[in-house]
Homo-oligomer: A and B are copies of this chain.
């Protein structure tokens, strides 16, 4: 589709393959099926397979293998759960994919400090399962059960970001293997620091183009005394958005607030067996003490009533609540299931919240003319929403239509002071939009890239173009 098609890369040299085998033993694969499995994330971008996949078990193995690839000027693509959405893991120049899922140890949990250190391949669900008995949790939750290294690399967020922030806000420090195979720590476990450049935030969101994250130190939170969730259907989309804007302005610390439009609700009902009213609907979650949660709920109900909100449907038990949020989290899969054999293309604009209702309304007017199913959902408290194009992959004209609709949506978001991507990253899919959004600032990113990876071996071809030092002498 929109991928840059690069000519066939030169074969990996026997010396490189033998060297990788010496480091990784049988955790090196050249099996075509394995390569194919590592050629794409979950989205619409065509697969581009690596030439080898390694499954390191330690930072030391990663460092050795990176140094070897660097010596051979062979591209390196870090790979987590494979759930990225903008072509972030395609091996556009071939090379070696580093599958990090074998690095799945929880290194340390420091209860008193509310932090933990995990290897990059630990998934968010595995971490939370481990933490539950300690009364702690890690809030950041993109829909997919991504790895924490991958989430850091794409600056992921999700439904809790309105209250708990994104990966940007919740990573304290990273262990990173640099492009020349050195191992560094970007920071310490101190809660705050003014010690030099913020390397942690530089690697968070760099999509593996500056190095490979091997360990992540994260902020944790105590599981709230009371958690209460509810859904509320609205007469209008504007009413739903206005409810959220007004609640935030009043300082209500909404833990989660998600907007699903009627098309998406219908998809969720079919997929998850729920029987939600087919309306524009807000999913709320409130965290805090019993009294504080009750107070938040009272405030939000009052605001909601003023904005055409219907009855709140409560999920009071943990099971009901989990079922509700599972339905929300599987919205992407529910959307794709609307058409058998379909592929999803999830858009990702984010605008200042004062422009959100206008942005969504104008977007929906565009979508109304589309032949493709286009369920919509949004992290409305952040101004971030996703339209999911449910595309028949055998019909190129549908891709073309989705591309045009997405372009109009991104252009609108930029004109409103927003961004082309709230949480999916640039990957291959938003390279031109990044230029449109930040202009010459992208030159600074390229300068940083060239400074930290002069051979351009770390996930080359992502985020920007025109960083070309790589000259495959594999």
A residues neighboring B (CB under 8 Å): 110-115, 154-157, 161, 165-166, 168-169, 178, 182, 184-199, 201-202, 204-206, 221-222, 224-225, 245, 248-251, 253, 288-289, 291-292, 295, 348, 350-354, 382-384, 414, 417-426, 430, 434, 437-442, 444-445, 447-452, 463-464
Contact = CB atoms under 8 A, between A and B. Distances in A.
A288 B202 CA distance: 34
Contact of A198 (B155, B193, B426): B155
Contact of A437 (B195, B382, B442): B195
A424 B193 CA distance: 9
A43 to B, nearest CB: 14
B464 A192 contact: no
A189 B352 contact: yes
B194 A249 contact: no
A182 B444 CA distance: 11
B202 A197 contact: yes
A195 B417 CA distance: 13
Contact of A350 (B190, B430, B451): B190
Label chain A's interface by main secondary structure: loop
Given A113-B353, A353-B112, A438-B185, A196 B426 contact: yes
Contacts of A224: 251
Nearest to A442: B196
Given A112-B249, A187-B438, A188-B437, A445 B382 contact: no
A198 B249 contact: no
Contact of A423 (B154, B186, B192, B225): B192
Nearest to A191: B382
